[in-house]
Copies of this chain bind each other. A is one copy, B any other.
Amino acid sequence: MPPTTTQPRKTPKQERSAATRARILAAGAEVFGEHGYAAGTTNRIAERAGLSIGSLYQYFPNKDAILVQLMRDHVEAGVGEIARRLGDVAGLPEGLEERVALFVDAAMANHAGNPRLHRVLFEESPVPADLRAELDRAEAWAVDVVAAMPAEEPSVRVGEPRLAAYVVVSTIESLTHRYLAGGDRYGSPEAFARHVVAMVTAYLRGA
């Protein structure tokens, strides 16, 4: 008799495999964050993950594959975080300022996790062309989302809405990254976020 429950479910073997993969990625995040890209060697990652170098290569074809997956995960988390907050219609704020704050808070949360790693990933590592394209698509998605907002928000009066949306997305992404990578030398995270929100809001309302 065939099993009654054959719905797609991971076999124990696949689960173990996925867990090992996750362990390698976690180790990679630690090692890259601590040692940087060049000194973040596969041997160190394997050691940190508690397995041998030979086993590591059973799960990832090369060093950069680990790095790329970490980058991908980070971007996906960011996109997912924004999408989740936007989808949460019940709590979607009405005012422009509150909506901007939603994006800023999501970006701060996304980058706050491991600033040191984030810096290594995006300031010190070579980005393959295909991942670069993926990052551009994520940016384009965010631009679309932001560009759709003004239509339903009468207080927005800035011209060239698509360029404006790009400026907004770039500003939030770049500034939060830079602030968190550089340390809070000029103010608390809360104060900084407040200023970014104020700047973007003032911009969107028109001068």
Where the two chains meet, the residues of A that have a C-beta atom closer than 8 Å to any C-beta of B are 36-38, 122-127, 136, 143, 158, 160, 162-167, 170-171, 174-175, 178-179, 182, 185-187, 191-192, 195-196, 198-203, 205-207
Q: Please determine whether B37 and A126 come into contact, CB atoms closer than 8 angstroms.
A: yes
Q: How far is the CA of A178 from the CA of B164 in the complex (A)?
A: 15
Determine chain A's interface SS by DSSP, over half rule. Answer: helix
- Nearest chain B CB to A155 CB, angstrom units: 11
Copy count, this protein chain:
2
Return the contact of A199 from the options B38, B125, B160, B203 (Cβ within 8 A).
B203
Q: How far is the CA of A175 from the CA of B166 in the complex (A)?
A: 10
Q: Please determine whether B174 and A195 come into contact, CB atoms closer than 8 angstroms.
A: no
Q: Please determine whether A179 and B170 come into contact, CB atoms closer than 8 angstroms.
A: yes
Q: How far is the CA of A191 from the CA of B200 in the complex (A)?
A: 17
- Nearest chain B CB to A159 CB, angstrom units: 9
Chain B residues whose C-beta falls within 8 Å of the C-beta of A166 in the assembled complex: 185-187
Listed residue (A125, A174, A205) with the most chain B CB atoms within 10 angstroms of its CB: A174
